[in-house]
Structure 1
């Protein structure tokens, strides 16, 4: 068994006021010149939390993120950081920005990465890998990095002031960790490996925390109420879910749910949907593939409460022909990460699962 454990950032903290300690942390790590990669609206919201840094003696260069985690954007940021002899790249924004910044830092050995997420929409701030896209938003797969994230700081008040739909997408992406990994991690051959057992425990923790606190946390962000439930779900989305793949490597990272996400991005209609929303649909396909219709019934209420897509129709893809569905299914089963996990799949059974799920949801919705 080949298992490489990549647990997470070198330094992590989540608490109210954590960004007030940023100058002290920079001094501690001998960081005096930085590049800040930022979004647009999120940057406006984040700036008040970074007032001490922005008013300090640290040399700061600002650069706006282009919106997609592409190889070209990674190279641009890495080259920029090298040209000005930056000690660190600070990323302030969402998941794709996080993926781009940590990749750029990984390509520049002398440069540290410091991540300040403004969203809790996935585990991107935690993991030492980046999901890569074309400039048009088509997923190309993921690359694993040679070094982990340097410092990850979560200010709960900053995340609380983020769009609700991104948070819901994070909830969906996180509960998927259990459904995607358990088929592999529950196999008898994996019961004697300490790290795979910890990965499975983290995946179960993801499911339990989302089931117990997820809807409350969504209500909290809607009502702008900073509660312990909200913070617990934020840390589950970003940190605990990141530990699943970090501890379990290819055996626990992703299976059908994320493979569906990666391959469905070829359809332009899906670009309007967030990563976690597409993964949510992928989980439904996985449950259909495994014949777990009772579980689908249980998940349906949860999905409808959070307005998550359950079918191709929900993703505006009901027009797909049988031939297109077969091609789509064939691309899913060829997914590199799905193959790496050892999850047994076939194109015929995948096509059947997609078609059967569509019909099942249609009938269920008509009742």
Structure 2
């Protein structure tokens, strides 16, 4: 067995007011010049939380993110880092921005990455890898980095200001950690590896936290209520879910659900959906592939409550031709991450699962069973 463990940031802190001490944390690292890469709407929400840093003696250069984590965007930001002789790059925004910032820091020796997420929508702030896209939003796969994030600082009040749909997408993406990894991690040959056991425990924690507190946390962000449930779910989305792949490596990273997401990005109709929303559909395909129909029915209740996509129709893909579906399922079956995980899935069986899922959810009357009672 070859297992490479990449646990996460060198330093992580989550708490109300955590950004007030950001200046001192940078100084402790010898940082005097930094480039801040930021989104547009996210920066409007985050700027007030960073007033202490902005008004400090640390020299700051501000760079607007272009919206996609592409190799071209990474290189553009690398050039800005070189021009300013910055010692750190600070990312303020969502997952694609986080991935771009991590990659830029990876490319320059001595540059540290500081991440301040404005969304709890995935584990991008935690993981030492970047998911790469074309400028048109087509997923190309991911690249693993040798450099860890120097500091990940989470201000829960900032995450509470985020759009609700991004948070819901984060809930779905985190739920996938269990469904994707357990098939591999539960194999007998993996029960004697200490790190894989911890990875599986983290995946189970992801599922249980989402099941027990996910709906409450969504209600909290809708009412702008900063509660322990909301903070717990945020940390699970960002940190605990990141530990699953960090500790489990290729044995716990992705299987069908994320492979489905990646290949869905070739369809322009799906670009209006967030990463976690497409992963949510991928979970359903995986459960159909495994013929876990009771689980599909129970999970459908949870999806309905959060308006997550369950079928191709929900993803604006009801008019796919047989040839398009065949090409799509073939690309899923050939996904490198799916193959490397050891999860065997033939294209014909994936296509059958998609058809079966559409038929099942088209006629199934979902019960009122609570999610917490089903798993």
TM-score range, shorter chain: over 0.9
Structure 1 position 364, deviation (Å): 2.1
Tell me the TM-score normalized by structure 2.
Answer: 0.97
Q: Does 1:96 align with 2:96?
A: yes
Alignment of 1:128-139 (within 5 A): 128-139=128-139
Q: Which residue of 2 aligns with 1:144?
A: 144
Alignment of 1:1-367 (within 5 A): 1-364=1-364
Structure 1 position 324, deviation (Å): 1.2
Does the CA contact (< 8 Å) of 2:301 and 2:366 recur in 1? no
SS state at 1:272 partner: coil
In 2, distance between residues paired with 1:284 and 1:64?
A: 36
In 1, distance between residues paired with 2:365 and 2:354?
A: 17
Does the CA contact (< 8 Å) of 2:257 and 2:285 recur in 1? yes
In 1, distance between residues paired with 2:104 and 2:365?
A: 46
Unaligned segments of structure 2, at least 5 residues: 368-375
Query: What value does the CA root-mean-square deviation take over the aligned residues?
Result: 1.0
Q: Which residue of 1 aligns with 2:372?
A: none
In 1, distance between residues paired with 2:360 and 2:318?
A: 14
In 2, distance between residues paired with 1:306 and 1:227?
A: 19
In 2, distance between residues paired with 1:361 and 1:217?
A: 27
In 2, distance between residues paired with 1:139 and 1:360?
A: 29
SS state at 1:36 partner: strand
Tell me the TM-score normalized by structure 1.
Answer: 0.99
SS state at 1:147 partner: coil
In 2, distance between residues paired with 1:250 and 1:322?
A: 32
Residues 192-222 of structure 1: per-residue CA shift (max 9 Å, x gap): 0001000000000000000010000000000
SS state at 2:62 partner: strand
Task: Give the 4+ runs in structure 1 shifted more than 4 A.
Answer: none
In 1, distance between residues paired with 2:365 and 2:172?
A: 21
In 2, distance between residues paired with 1:197 and 1:75?
A: 38
Structure 1 position 46, deviation (Å): 0.3
Residues 3-24 of structure 1: per-residue CA shift (max 9 Å, x gap): 0000000000000000001011
Distance 1:311 1:109, change over 3 A: same
